[in-house]
């Protein structure tokens, strides 16, 4: 009988409930194992009105979902590194769904602080990077879902023709 009293005590019930919730949540996560990561690319970049000396842009992200399940999101955050250094960041409270085996466009306003732009200009002037070719890393998160969100990463080389030395 002492075992039965212990089993039915409040603490034991909470422990059993916690164990059941843990197993159920791991089962939910197991459904995501084997899923392909989201494919995110920059679809466009437009200037926005700036405040003071900072620069602002609207970045259009194309988000592709190569999985069998739709992905609902409620907010987006983005960080952009240019030439290995932090350059811009942005957030948006946009919400929506990336359909299964589908894609959607998301708009995120990016802010480039004035001193960051100056630091980047001096850094690029003294780098070995070919003029007009700048490596970038775009990382971010689509907020929402039980896990708090889905992270994404896009990287490559930003080519800006016409910014090189004249005569090349």
| Cβ count within 10 A of residue 78 | 23
39-157 folds as Immunoglobulin-like (2.60.40)
Two tokens at 101? Answer: 């085996």
HEC string of the chain equals: CHHHHHHCCHHHHHHHHHHHHHHHHHHHHHCCCCCCCCEEEEEEEEEECCCCCCEEEEEEEEEEECCCCCEEEEEEEEEEEECCEEEEEEEEEEEEEECCCEEEEEEEEEEECHHHHHHHHHHHHCCCCCCCEEEEEEEEEEECCCCCEEEEEEEEEEECCCCCCCCC
Write the burial class of residue 34 (CB in 10 Å: 0-12 exposed, 13-18 middle, 19+ buried).
exposed
**pLDDT tens across 132-144, in order?**
678 889 999 999 8
| Residue % of the chain over a pLDDT of 90 | 40
pTM: 0.68
**pLDDT tens across 64-114, in order?**
999 999 999 999 999 999 888 898 999 999 999 999 999 999 999 999 988
155 vs 25: CA distance, rounded Å: 32
102 vs 83: CA distance, rounded Å: 31
25 vs 27: CA distance, rounded Å: 5
Sketch the domain layout of the chain as residue ranges: 39-157
Query: Residue 17: pLDDT band by 50, 70, 90 thresholds?
Result: very low
């Amino acid at each position: 009988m002492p075992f039965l009293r212990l089993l039915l005590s409040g603490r034991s019930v909470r422990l059993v409930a916690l164990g059941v919730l843990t197993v159920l949540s791991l089962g939910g996560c197991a459904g995501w194992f084997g899923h392909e990561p989201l494919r995110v690319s920059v679809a466009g970049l437009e200037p926005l009105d700036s405040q003071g000396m900072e620069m602002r842009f609207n970045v259009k992200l194309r988000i592709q979902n190569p999985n069998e399940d739709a992905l609902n999101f409620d907010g987006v955050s983005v960080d952009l590194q240019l030439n290995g250094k932090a350059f811009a960041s942005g957030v948006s409270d946009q919400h929506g769904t990336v359909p299964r085996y589908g894609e959607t466009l998301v708009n995120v306003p990016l802010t480039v602080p004035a001193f960051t732009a100056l630091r980047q200009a001096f850094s690029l002037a003294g780098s070995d990077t070919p003029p007009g070719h700048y490596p970038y890393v775009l990382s971010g998160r689509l907020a929402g879902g039980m896990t708090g969100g889905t992270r994404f990463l896009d990287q490559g080389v930003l080519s800006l023709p016409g910014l090189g030395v004249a005569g090349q």
